[in-house]
Amino acid sequence: MDKSDEEMEEDDTEWKKSLVESVPLSPAAAAGPRLSKTPAHRVIVHFDLDCFYAQVEMIRNPALREVPLGIQQKYIIVTCNYVAREQGVTKLMSVTDAKEKCPQLVLVKGEDLTHYRDMSYKVTELLMSYCPLVERLGFDENFVDITEMVERRLVETLESKNFTSFKGHVYSHSSAAVEAHDHPSLALGSHIAAELREAIHSKLGLTGCAGIATSVGHQTAKRLQALGLVSVKDLQLFPLNDLVREFGDPSAQRLKNLANGVDDLPVTPTGPPQSLSDEDSFKKMSSTKDVMEKIQELLTNLVERMHKDGRQPHTFRLTIRRYSATNKWFSRESRQSPIPNHIGQKITSGGSDDAVVQLVPLAMKLFHKMVDSRATFHLTLINVCFSNLQAKGAAANRKGTPTTNSTASSQPTVGIDFREKRVMYTGTGADGTTERNFKVHLQLWDTAGQERFRSLTTAFFRDAMGFLLMFDLTNQQSFLNVRSWMSQLQANAYCDSPDIVLVGTKADLRDMKDVHTRQARNLADRYGIPYFETSAVTGVDVDHAVTTLLDLVMKRMEQSTYGGRVSEPNGSPVASNEVEEAPVRRRCC
DNA sequence: AGGAGCC
DNA sequence: CTGGCTCCT
Ligand SMILES: Nc1ncnc2c1ncn2[C@H]1C[C@H](O)[C@@H](COP(=O)(O)OP(=O)(O)OP(=O)(O)O)O1
């Protein structure tokens, strides 16, 4: 927004409302963990970094701080620093316009996003080290569900009775003043938000703004921004009801969405990316030779990035944009194909040059499916993309480990009594040539409506042979977040999916395309794992799912020498005896 | 495979 | 617009 706000950055005003120190908080508010079940009590922070690419370049070269700086991609200024903005340069302005407005504008090329992407993930990871529920939006925005941090601190502040204020600026369009004692969670959240923002500043040298609300995600935040309610580097407080009042959409349908959906849209932890791509645009490319060279160049980069990521891509996609006089030149065409395993493995395990050599012909095959190279053609963009990325040590695809020719068999289908917390099971497997017995502990762990794994040791995850995730979505009050559980499983268990998903969901939720149900389906679909959906989770359903899991685990043990988890979260292989503690990022402040 | 959305 | 990413159809 306007710059006067921005320059007041360190002026983090304490809005001491006329509150007495001992204003009693309602017992309900102090109840703690129970709060997280009620959407209205969630506290969500939104971080947006200032002129992100420009900031990164100014860190790389501090001299740029003093001059008007524009980040150039081809013929546009994609963003610029505030010195440049004062001179009238805007985001996504053409280079010619910008130079006209500001002849002294210093341009830095920003077509290679590597530095921005790296810094972007540093921010997300820093936030995750405080709180695991972080959702990314683009490279420069993060949503963090800090409900748990707030609850914990609510208890502490209650004990020390020093809770009196909001931090930052309070926005409300309602005539009633927003009082801290009416919104204790939000007020506390505003302090936490300020701390996180300070952490980003002190540890990474980046400035940005933080907004906070009980409601959700980007829709609302965007609307806030559009209406000018958010200014850069402001901290805002906002009661949900006011949001609903303010943003009541003229469209009745949208309004209904607001009433029904916005309230409990979960913050969905983003986790590692679903795809990696690299692209380049140009005025004109019209020879097969040029195309091949460009593809090779792009693939060299992409394969290197993929290698660092550690996961193995199983799908390759080539996208082109053709020139067309009719302003339809926006649309792209693409072809994709599976990546043969022997190529995919080279990417992960070091033979990167070799991988590129083999991927180029594959890419060219796809290219010829789209372009008849005997005729003339005119391309303006080429994109290469890896998707369907799989971690090697994953529980769901551990079949990859060396297989023995064991003849051992198992009969896992013993009666399972689910009133028991623990069930012992004995089956037979093989280790190399030697048969031996295994004991399988089946640990049933009830989330009890919580949103995070609690009180489970890292050894539990590390040693587990398989996971069954069960969700009961028939209770509309809870907002269990499938993706959230997934990402916690990934972080703790070093695997990229559970083995089976069981979901109980009501018919009307299914019809409403309930977000949670949809997430569960997508999850199972993405990882190609068994998925059971029932109208209500009964003992029979659970029994069936667990039996399937046990069968799977036993098969897995017959097939391979099991040496514990074999990969870190980022997928790079490590010896099993090196696996120690789970990464610190699961610690919540 | 394409479209639409977000930054 | 550029150079990414996401999810839905
Ligand atoms: N079409 C696009 N729209 C918006 N941003 C884009 C686009 N293409 C690339 N970007 C990049 C450039 C930006 O640095 C980055 C983040 O965008 P955004 O948050 O809108 O602005 P910004 O962080 O550059 O400035 P500020 O938030 O200070 O106004 O995304």
Q: What is the CATH number of the domain that holds A320?
A: 3.30.1490.100
Give the model's confidence band at A170: pLDDT under 50 very low, under 70 low, under 90 confident, else very high: low
Asked whether residue A50 falls in the same domain as residue A174, the answer is yes
Provide the token pair at A323.
């020139």
Last residue of a domain, one of A349, A374, A390: A390
What whole-number distance in Å separates Cα of residue A331 and Cα of residue A584? 43
pLDDT at residue A194, as a whole number: 93
Q: Which of A57, A113, A119, A140 is the pocket-test mutation for ligand 1 (most atoms within 8 Å of CB)?
A: A140
Is A6 a domain residue? Answer: no
Query: Residues 6 or more apart from A451 whose CB is under 8 A from it?
Result: A36, A133, A145, A147, A148, A480, A481, A484
Nearest nucleotide to A332 (CA to C1') is: B2
| Least confident piece of the model among A438-442, A538-542, A574-578 | A574-578
pLDDT at residue A549, as a whole number: 76
Please tell me whether any atom of strand B lies within 7 Å of the Cβ of A139: yes
Is the pLDDT score of A454 beyond 50? no
Is A223 a domain residue? Answer: no
CA of A463 to C1' of B7 (A): 40
Last residue of a domain, one of A341, A373, A390: A390
| Least confident piece of the model among A177-191, A195-209, A406-420, A503-517 | A406-420
Please tell me whether any atom of strand B lies within 7 Å of the Cβ of A435: no
pLDDT at residue A560, as a whole number: 54
Give the model's confidence band at A178: pLDDT under 50 very low, under 70 low, under 90 confident, else very high: low
Task: Report the DSSP pairing between strands A235-236 and A275-285.
Answer: unpaired
pLDDT at residue A515, as a whole number: 62
Mean pLDDT to the nearest integer, A536-549: 73
pLDDT at residue A24, as a whole number: 21
The Cβ of residue A538 has, within 10 Å, a number of other Cβ atoms equal to 11
Nearest nucleotide to A218 (CA to C1') is: B6
Q: Is A560 helix (H, G, I), strand (E, B) or coil?
A: strand
Give the model's confidence band at A47: pLDDT under 50 very low, under 70 low, under 90 confident, else very high: very high
Report yes or no: A32 and A150 within 8 Å, Cβ to Cβ.
no
Is the pLDDT score of A476 beyond 70? no
Asked whether residue A208 falls in the same domain as residue A66, the answer is yes
Ligand 1 mean position, distance from CA A336 (Å): 29
pLDDT at residue A151, as a whole number: 86
Is the pLDDT score of A473 beyond 90? no
Asked whether residue A436 falls in the same domain as residue A373, the answer is no
Is the pLDDT score of A123 beyond 80? yes
What whole-number distance in Å separates Cα of residue A8 and Cα of residue A354? 54
Q: Give the number of the atom of ligand 1 that is nearest the alpha carbon of residue A140.
A: 16
Instruction: Tell me, rounded to whole angstroms, the distance of Cα A158 from its chain centroid.
Output: 33
Ligand 1: which residue has its CA nearest to atom 23? A51
Query: Which residue places its CA closest to the C1' of nucleotide B2?
Result: A333
pLDDT at residue A86, as a whole number: 97
Ligand 1: which residue has its CA nearest to atom 6? A78
Give the model's confidence band at A172: pLDDT under 50 very low, under 70 low, under 90 confident, else very high: low
Please tell me whether any atom of strand B lies within 7 Å of the Cβ of A338: no
Query: Which residue places its CA closest to the C1' of nucleotide B3?
Result: A331
Instruction: Give the structural domain span for A472.
Output: 416-560
The Cβ of residue A94 has, within 10 Å, a number of other Cβ atoms equal to 12
Provide the token pair at A341.
């395993």
Last residue of a domain, one of A169, A193, A213: A213
Q: Between residues A300 and A580, which one has the greater pLDDT?
A: A300
What whole-number distance in Å separates Cα of residue A276 and Cα of residue A227? 34
| Least confident piece of the model among A41-45, A105-109, A177-181, A395-399 | A395-399
Is the pLDDT score of A73 beyond 50? yes
Asked whether residue A420 falls in the same domain as residue A375, the answer is no
pLDDT at residue A350, as a whole number: 85
Asked whether residue A204 falls in the same domain as residue A105, the answer is yes
Ligand 1: which residue has its CA nearest to atom 18? A51
Mean pLDDT to the nearest integer, A235-241: 38
Amino acid at site A527: Y
Q: Give the number of the atom of ligand 1 that is nearest the alpha carbon of residue A82.
A: 28
Alpha helices in A327-430 (DSSP H): 341-348, 352-370
In CATH, what number is assigned to the domain containing residue A52?
3.30.70.270
Is the pLDDT score of A569 beyond 50? no
Q: Give the number of the atom of ligand 1 that is nearest the alpha carbon of residue A110.
A: 12
CA of A23 to C1' of C5 (A): 46
Instruction: Tell me, rounded to whole angstroms, the distance of Cα A396 from its chain centroid.
Output: 20
pLDDT at residue A15, as a whole number: 25
What whole-number distance in Å separates Cα of residue A550 and Cα of residue A557? 10
Tell me the pTM: 0.72
Is the pLDDT score of A228 beyond 90? no
Mean pLDDT to the nearest integer, A484-503: 66
Torsion (CA) A140, A145, A148, A154 in degrees, nearest 10: 80
CA of A573 to C1' of B1 (A): 34
Q: Give the number of the atom of ligand 1 that is nearest the alpha carbon of residue A53.
A: 14
Mean pLDDT to the nearest integer, A88-92: 97
Is the pLDDT score of A497 beyond 80? no
Tell me how many degrees the CA angle A499-A569-A311 measures, rounded to the nearest 5. Answer: 80
Q: How far is CA A58 from CA A47, A105, A115, A413, A573, in A?
A: 20, 14, 12, 62, 36
Model confidence pLDDT, tens digit, residues A372-417? 999 999 999 999 999 999 887 543 333 222 222 222 222 222 233 3
Give the model's confidence band at A13: pLDDT under 50 very low, under 70 low, under 90 confident, else very high: very low
What whole-number distance in Å separates Cα of residue A191 and Cα of residue A180? 12
Which residue in A9, A10, A57, A141 is the catalytic one? A141
What whole-number distance in Å separates Cα of residue A440 and Cα of residue A463? 11
Ligand 1: which residue has its CA nearest to atom 7? A78
Is the pLDDT score of A524 beyond 80? no
Give the model's confidence band at A365: pLDDT under 50 very low, under 70 low, under 90 confident, else very high: very high
In CATH, what number is assigned to the domain containing residue A450?
3.40.50.300
- The average confidence (pLDDT) of chain A is 69
Asked whether residue A375 falls in the same domain as residue A421, the answer is no
Ligand 1: which residue has its CA nearest to atom 8? A78
Strand B nucleotides, any atom under 7 Å from protein beta carbons: they are 1-3, 6-7
Q: Mean pLDDT highest for which of A108-112, A147-151, A181-185?
A: A108-112
DSSP string, A253-304: HHHHHHHHTGGGPPP----S-SEEEEEEEEEEE--HHHHHHHHHHHHHHHHH
Q: How far is CA A367 from CA A272, A285, A306, A341, in A?
A: 29, 13, 21, 21
| Least confident piece of the model among A137-141, A188-192, A355-359, A497-501 | A497-501
Query: Residues 6 or more apart from A386 whose CB is under 8 A from it?
Result: A275, A276, A277, A302, A306, A313, A315, A316, A339
Is A549 a domain residue? Answer: yes
Please tell me whether any atom of strand C lies within 7 Å of the Cβ of A334: no
Q: How far is CA A171 from CA A45, A72, A174, A177, in A?
A: 15, 35, 9, 9
Asked whether residue A280 falls in the same domain as residue A207, the answer is no
Asked whether residue A373 falls in the same domain as residue A459, the answer is no
What are the backbone dihedrals phi and psi of residue A281, each rounded to the nearest 5 degrees, phi first? -115, 160
Ligand 1 mean position, distance from CA A58 (Å): 16
Mean pLDDT to the nearest integer, A503-526: 64
Give the model's confidence band at A148: pLDDT under 50 very low, under 70 low, under 90 confident, else very high: confident
Is the pLDDT score of A589 beyond 90? no
What whole-number distance in Å separates Cα of residue A142 and Cα of residue A182? 27
Is the pLDDT score of A136 beyond 50? yes
Closest CA to A146 of A190, A180, A116, A90: A190
What whole-number distance in Å separates Cα of residue A20 and Cα of residue A161? 10
Provide the token pair at A2.
């306007």
Q: Mean pLDDT highest for which of A133-142, A163-172, A427-436?
A: A133-142
Ligand 1 mean position, distance from CA A50 (Å): 9
Question: SS3 helix, strand, coil % of chain A, rounded to 5?
Answer: 40, 20, 40
Asked whether residue A458 falls in the same domain as residue A546, the answer is yes
Model confidence pLDDT, tens digit, residues A251-275? 343 444 443 334 456 777 888 899 9
Instruction: Report the pocket of ligand 1 as residue ranges, CB < 6 Å.
Output: A 48-53, 78-79, 91, 138-140, 232
Ligand 1: which residue has its CA nearest to atom 15? A52
Is A101 a domain residue? Answer: yes
Share of chain A above pLDDT 90, in %: 37
Ligand 1 mean position, distance from CA A82 (Å): 13
Asked whether residue A285 falls in the same domain as residue A187, the answer is no
Model confidence pLDDT, tens digit, residues A277-334? 999 999 999 999 999 999 999 999 999 999 999 999 999 999 999 998 776 668 899 9
Amino acid at site A46: H
| Least confident piece of the model among A142-146, A292-296, A365-369, A561-565 | A561-565
Asked whether residue A200 falls in the same domain as residue A59, the answer is yes
Asked whether residue A172 falls in the same domain as residue A59, the answer is yes
Is A569 a domain residue? Answer: no
Torsion (CA) A368, A374, A375, A380 in degrees, nearest 10: 40
Is the pLDDT score of A208 beyond 70? yes
pLDDT at residue A133, as a whole number: 86
Q: What is the domain count for chain A?
A: 3
Closest CA to A58 of A87, A77, A82: A82
pLDDT at residue A475, as a whole number: 57
Q: Is A304 a residue of the active site?
A: no
Ligand 1 mean position, distance from CA A8 (Å): 21
Is A358 a domain residue? Answer: yes
Is A372 a domain residue? Answer: yes
Please tell me whether any atom of strand C lies within 7 Å of the Cβ of A117: yes
Please tell me whether any atom of strand C lies within 7 Å of the Cβ of A107: no
pLDDT at residue A426, as a whole number: 44
Please tell me whether any atom of strand C lies within 7 Å of the Cβ of A330: yes
CA of A209 to C1' of B6 (A): 18
